[in-house]
Amino acid sequence: MDTQVAANISTDDGLPFYLPQGNEVALFEHAYRHRLPMLIKGPTGCGKTRFVHYMAARLGRPVYTVACHDDLTAADLVGRHLIGDGGTFWSDGPLTRAVREGAICYLDEVVEARKDTTVVLHPLTDDRRILPIERTGETLQAPPEFMLVVSYNPGYQNLLKGMKPSTRQRFVAASFDFPAPEAEQAVIQGETGIDSKDAGLLVRLAGALRALKDHDLEEAASTRLLVYAATLMQGGFDVRAACRAALVEPLSDDEDTITALMEVVDASLPR
Ligand code: ADP
């Protein structure tokens, strides 16, 4: 399972680099102080994970990130008995660790997880703020510093995987999208050190590629992919090769679509 503690990208103030898009910083702080769980909606690669890591660092709390997938069960979150040299022993899952330590637990793409996970999330997201661990008979009371944050991409939603209203209603929610052009340019420059001319070019190109999204592609060129393209350009790749590797090939396997996307790239490049 993909769990990790804290982000390793830091700026002068020791915090991960994050450029706010609206009132999300104040909203998160308010939720944290009032012990409310938070739900973040938005497309892949628009900055949700970076935001949570930034907020955790700002609030001085560790963060446990779990990338949810369709095999993820309640036991993956809570923990399980393992067999070691001295017999069986209990091993906390990331959610249990976060509750014990008063950390932030971030469940990315939570709608992917198995339905049995809601059984452990519900008592943690209402007034009780408890985590019953059935296997050990323990019930943990979450300390004030514990916060549950979940995210999902509404674009992936289908009827089966939609989040149940009874679950959604427990969260303070915010919608994210790709940053506005100027902000996205600042993000690309902040992440890679690329100059403003090239960053501006990538943002304009992303605008043209995103306009095609609903026609041919399931996913839009994300801020993450723009950062990758800028990183390649910083490493010496020419802009066309960087765009192909970072903005075109990751979005489609279909030859015709790749050709069409490269035409958009070529039309956007200065002659
Ligand atoms: P998500 O969790 O929404 O899939 P991430 O948080 O991993 O996306 O964001 C992808 C990348 O985009 C980050 O690693 C970072 O380089 C960049 N990024 C996007 N938005 C921002 C932002 N507002 N401030 C700083 N970096 C950002």
CA dist., res. 139 & res. 124, Å (int): 11
Pocket test for ligand 1, best of 46, 182, 202 (most atoms within 8 A of CB): 46
- Residue 246 DSSP symbol: I
Which position has the higher pLDDT, 150 or 14?
A: 150
Instruction: Read off the tokens for 234.
Output: 């910083």
Extents of the domains making up the chain: 24-175, 181-268
State pLDDT tens for residues 12-42: 678 999 999 999 999 999 999 999 999 999 9
Q: Which ranges of the chain does DSSP label H, i.e. alpha helix?
A: 24-33, 48-59, 74-78, 94-101, 117-125, 165-168, 181-192, 196-211, 213-216, 223-234, 239-243, 255-268
Q: Does position 213 have pLDDT exceeding 70, yes or no?
A: no
CA dist., res. 142 & res. 7, Å (int): 23
List the residue whose alpha carbon is closest to atom 20 of ligand 1: 47
Give the fold, CATH level 3, of 24-175: Rossmann fold (3.40.50)
CA dist., res. 62 & res. 105, Å (int): 9
